[in-house]
Amino acid sequence: MTDSYVCIDLETTGLDPKRDKIIEIGAVKVEKGEITGEWQTLVNPGKKLEERIVELTGIRDDELVEARTISEVLPDLFAFLEERTLLGHSVLFDFSFLKKAAVNERLSFERQGIDTLKIARKYLQNLESRALGALCEHYGIPHSAHRALEDARATTALYQRLWDEFYEKEEQEGEKSLFRPRPLVYKAKRDTPLTPAQKEQLYKLLDKHKLVIDYEIESLTRSEASRRIDRILAEYGR
């Protein structure tokens, strides 16, 4: 069993790391099977949250206004993570958002990971759902869903329960054992900031059509700015 790792969980504005942003990070450090530290922060995504995200997480825009940006958060987070194996429930999802954020800041971020969802899918096929909440209910693990640190704590407890029940059977798979760390792979390209011409065009369109926006123009990427401009032109014209 890998007994030294960091369990990571993120809350985000959506499911696509190319377009969506991190709004909360929670991490639990485990050394030799014992929890030795926890780390949590909110992250300012630079735009207003959709109502469905507010309802899902309970995180509100006013909580994020004073939060640090992801570029400010990453050095502290990576210092906490060190070079440890990452544990997560669908760990590649969390890794992909962190990898994308790291690439945007020209930082290196390569890790190995263990996925409790893959273990559950293999051994708990009789359950109606292998979502984290359903598995916590199955094992009687306390869980407050959709907050990063709470989910990381629950996943840490879930990993221990899965190990207790299935480790010996899974170790027969040798190097293929799902309890052994494997390289996490996600190809991410660095976002290009919006161009001066896009910035000027956006401000002109907003002024001309008297539009109030719920995002920060300065934080837009070139592709995001292009989509915003196209949307305004399609709805309001030039």
* Catalytic choice (138, 143, 146, 209): 146
Q: Which residues contact 121 (CB under 8 A, 6 or more apart)?
A: 130
What DSSP string describes 175-220? GG-TTS-EE------PPPBPPHHHHHHHHHHHHHHT---SB-GGG-
Interior CA angle at 228 toward 218 and 238, to 5°? 110
Q: Enumerate the β-bridge partners of residue 47.
A: 215
Residues 6+ apart with CB under 8 A from 182: 112, 113, 114
Give the ranges where 50-195 is alpha helix by DSSP (H): 51-57, 61-64, 70-81, 91-104, 116-123, 132-139, 148-170
For residue 29, what is the DSSP state? E
- Strand pairing report for 112-115 and 86-88: parallel
- Tell me the two tokens of residue 153: 């704590």
Is residue 143 part of the annotated active site? The answer reads: no
Q: Residue 185 and residue 95: Cα distance in Å, rounded? A: 9
Question: Active-site residue numbers?
Answer: 146
